[in-house]
A and B are shown apart, each in its own frame.
Chain A
């Protein structure tokens, strides 16, 4: 019932809801109605209220917002902070960039997991489940270093931005960070809405933005998309990732192995038979 409310709120077509057969979606193309957050770095002032809201929503230690030294160096998310804001000073302008799991449309981590402990929900977010064996292959696979591991626990979890999926989204609420943002630097909606919004912001103020929406095409599309006043590689984004979804990197290889498993045994039996016959002939 809650999920339904959420879907209605999001304006997600009932078609997907009715066809709720497979729980895992190995999406090829990004779904136009996937839950998406648009991050406008020109609006962010680095107040870090999103960090605080995130910590609260996920029962993690609260960050000290008065400590401004956190901006002295680039921070990464961790098992204790699922989102962090970094400051980049570019030509005297301060640009703040919120980072977290990007919730890729066709994600490396989801395809890497041998027990489907990382799952793409129908609505777009990627969630972690407790059947995980803790092999950390998802951490190796993720091009954005999203998944983090609890190294100091006897029952460690993989932690990353949850998109507040189970706690808020299914109840029709926005993610905690989006709700906490006082500058409307974070906007929440469907993917097509957010892309449209991003495009109109660029069109209305072409001098304020570079003409690129990060996450529209990167690694096949992400559910967190970004606008920036400067080229993205200057504010900590990787611009060398390409537009191919990561699971494609292993698809051809896995097919080859399946082929080997079928073709090689008869070949080996045949070869063994031939070498045996030759051996017998040589003996005679």
Chain B
């Protein structure tokens, strides 16, 4: 057990110091990429988006919106699904992963939704929707922007107890714990709005998105897919974290990890089944069956069968056999499916009649990697210091027992 989680004294100078050797494979790979990415970001702001990206008048959105925002937000869906199962449905089995999921959600929103600023042509106006002289209330983007902003704040509130335990701030800890359930309830509500909302943006792109993907159901499809996308990310991230930070895992975490993964696989199977029912219903609704025999139909089938149906089946059998490798393979495949799906809306099935296609430039890819790597650096920094996957300090655990029993009667 690490000493700084059990000790009551807190030294900022000590905490800021690196905890690992400088030359690890992770550092050797990520540092040059991040440095190059910073140069490209400077270039992008000095010379315009065209100097770094392959965006065009026909493809105004590319990798940065497609990956950083759409995929990143879907993968952050775990934070509201796990919060729902743990706090609302009272599934205590998820207790060890609630905090790490909230941390992941918070960092995802800060970095991936934050990366939106890189894509804005006039970022100095980025907060006009909050403080602005004008509110575009008829815009789905307006709703999504507000929901992003509020959700990030709520996730921060949900994570403050971990910070309080780290710095030993008992009073802050008590205050924040009291409002925790309110933050959870509002957070889940708001997640429903913006997870569907990032799909709702494309309702206006009726003239541009291939009819196999365009549907009035886009918001619902985005919402449901964000649920299993989020859980897949929890599985994927959990298997990496539990290996990379093995020394820090609490006893509770390491003893329950496998059974949690099996549970998540069961839930994912159910959500994927719902998603597939919606997808088939949508084919009837749009009567787009005939289009399946076209090249775009083949691409659609690859997405839906190859990267939703098959992972769904793997989840089902993996959960029954309690086979972690099968479940992890399913999670990775379903995540690839989310990439394909979101990229379809942004640039593959978007303006599909356009002969000149968009593909990301190497510089767009480097900047995207920079965003991911920077997020991982912050994640590692937090995991190595705060009680996220590690044991909480004793005072918090003892108090936590009472709190768990009394909190609802206090809050409701």
Q: Is chain B's interface secondary structure helix, strand, loop, or mixed overall?
A: helix
Q: Smallest distance from the beta carbon of B287 to chain A beta carbons, Å?
A: 15
Cβ 8 A contact of A271, one of B89, B126, B207: B89
Cβ 8 A contact of A260, one of B120, B145, B181, B193: B193
Contact with B along A248-284 (1 / 0, CB 8 A): 0111011011001100110011011101101100000
Q: Smallest distance from the beta carbon of A79 to chain B beta carbons, Å?
A: 8
B203 touches A272 (CB 8 A): no
In Å, the complex CA distance between A46 and B55 comes to: 31
A131 touches B132 (CB 8 A): yes
In Å, the complex CA distance between A112 and B143 comes to: 11
B206 touches A276 (CB 8 A): no
Is A238 located at the chain interface by the 8 A CB criterion? yes
Chain A interface bracket (under 10, 10 to 19, 20 to 34, 35 or more): 35 or more
Is A189 located at the chain interface by the 8 A CB criterion? no
A140 touches B412 (CB 8 A): no
Contact with A along B56-82 (1 / 0, CB 8 A): 111011000000000000000000000
Cβ 8 A contact of A133, one of B121, B200, B206, B219: B121
Cβ 8 A contact of B193, one of A112, A113, A148, A257: A257
- A:55-96 near B, CB below 8 Å: 76, 78-79
B134 touches A131 (CB 8 A): yes
List, in ascending order, chain A residues with CB within 8 A of B51's CB: 152
Cβ 8 A contact of A114, one of B53, B61, B89, B142: B142
Is B32 located at the chain interface by the 8 A CB criterion? no
Asked whether A265 and B185 contact (CB < 8 A) given A115-B136, A149-B57, the answer is yes
Give the residue among B51, B116, B140, B145 with the most A Cβ atoms within 10 A: B140
List, in ascending order, chain B residues with CB within 8 A of A111's CB: 136, 138-139, 204
A137 touches B48 (CB 8 A): no
- Count of A-B contacts with CB under 8 A? 187
In Å, the complex CA distance between A155 and B48 comes to: 7
Is B293 located at the chain interface by the 8 A CB criterion? no
Q: Smallest distance from the beta carbon of A218 to chain B beta carbons, Å?
A: 11
Is B192 located at the chain interface by the 8 A CB criterion? yes
Give the residue among A76, A154, A246 with the most B Cβ atoms within 10 A: A154
List, in ascending order, chain B residues with CB within 8 A of A137's CB: 139, 141, 201, 204
CB-nearest residue of chain A relative to B140? A250
List, in ascending order, chain A residues with CB within 8 A of B219's CB: 253, 256
Q: Smallest distance from the beta carbon of B361 to chain A beta carbons, Å?
A: 12
CB-nearest residue of chain A relative to B345? A140
Chain B interface bracket (under 10, 10 to 19, 20 to 34, 35 or more): 35 or more
Is A156 located at the chain interface by the 8 A CB criterion? yes
B189 touches A113 (CB 8 A): no
In Å, the complex CA distance between A256 and B220 comes to: 11
Is A116 located at the chain interface by the 8 A CB criterion? yes
List, in ascending order, chain B residues with CB within 8 A of A113's CB: 136, 139, 141
List, in ascending order, chain B residues with CB within 8 A of A261's CB: 189-190, 193
A152 touches B200 (CB 8 A): no
B120 touches A276 (CB 8 A): no
Is B186 located at the chain interface by the 8 A CB criterion? yes
Is A139 located at the chain interface by the 8 A CB criterion? yes
A145 touches B57 (CB 8 A): yes
A264 touches B192 (CB 8 A): yes
A260 touches B125 (CB 8 A): no
In Å, the complex CA distance between A227 and B350 comes to: 30
List, in ascending order, chain A residues with CB within 8 A of B48's CB: 150-154, 156
- A:95-140 near B, CB below 8 Å: 108, 110-117, 131-137, 139-140
Asked whether A152 and B47 contact (CB < 8 A) given A134-B122, A257-B196, A272-B412, the answer is yes
Is A231 located at the chain interface by the 8 A CB criterion? no
CB-nearest residue of chain B relative to A247? B138
Cβ 8 A contact of A148, one of B57, B125, B134, B138: B57
Is B360 located at the chain interface by the 8 A CB criterion? no
Give the residue among B45, B181, B207 with the most A Cβ atoms within 10 A: B207
In Å, the complex CA distance between A273 and B122 comes to: 46
List, in ascending order, chain B residues with CB within 8 A of A269's CB: 185, 411-412
A116 touches B135 (CB 8 A): yes
Q: Smallest distance from the beta carbon of B9 to chain A beta carbons, Å?
A: 36
List, in ascending order, chain A residues with CB within 8 A of B196's CB: 253, 257
Cβ 8 A contact of A131, one of B128, B142, B188: B128
List, in ascending order, chain B residues with CB within 8 A of A150's CB: 48, 121
List, in ascending order, chain B residues with CB within 8 A of A257's CB: 143, 192-193, 196-197, 200
List, in ascending order, chain B residues with CB within 8 A of A76's CB: 57-58
Is A141 located at the chain interface by the 8 A CB criterion? yes
CB-nearest residue of chain B relative to A257? B193
Is A26 located at the chain interface by the 8 A CB criterion? yes
In Å, the complex CA distance between A271 and B85 comes to: 11
Cβ 8 A contact of B122, one of A108, A156, A249, A265: A156
Is A183 located at the chain interface by the 8 A CB criterion? no
- B:64-114 near A, CB below 8 Å: 84, 87-90, 92
Q: Smallest distance from the beta carbon of A149 to chain B beta carbons, Å?
A: 6
List, in ascending order, chain A residues with CB within 8 A of B123's CB: 133-134
Q: Smallest distance from the beta carbon of A139 to chain B beta carbons, Å?
A: 4
In Å, the complex CA distance between A254 and B120 comes to: 24
In Å, the complex CA distance between A115 and B116 comes to: 16
Interface residues of A (CB under 8 A from B): 26, 76, 78-79, 108, 110-117, 131-137, 139-141, 143, 145, 148-156, 238, 240-241, 246-247, 249-251, 253-254, 256-257, 260-261, 264-265, 268-269, 271-273, 275-276, 278-279
A sample of 20 inter-chain contacts (CB < 8 A) reads: A116-B135, A132-B121, A133-B125, A133-B129, A134-B123, A137-B141, A140-B205, A151-B48, A153-B48, A156-B49, A249-B204, A249-B206, A250-B139, A250-B203, A253-B196, A257-B196, A260-B192, A261-B190, A268-B185, A272-B185
Interface residues of B (CB under 8 A from A): 45-51, 53, 55-58, 60-61, 84, 87-90, 92, 116, 119-123, 125-126, 128-129, 132-136, 138-143, 145, 181, 185-186, 188-190, 192-193, 196-197, 200-208, 216, 219, 350, 408, 411-412
Further 20 A-B residue pairs, CB within 8 A, beyond A256-B219, A272-B408: A115-B134, A134-B122, A135-B141, A136-B60, A136-B61, A136-B121, A137-B139, A137-B141, A141-B205, A145-B57, A151-B50, A152-B50, A156-B122, A238-B207, A240-B207, A250-B204, A253-B203, A260-B189, A269-B411, A275-B90
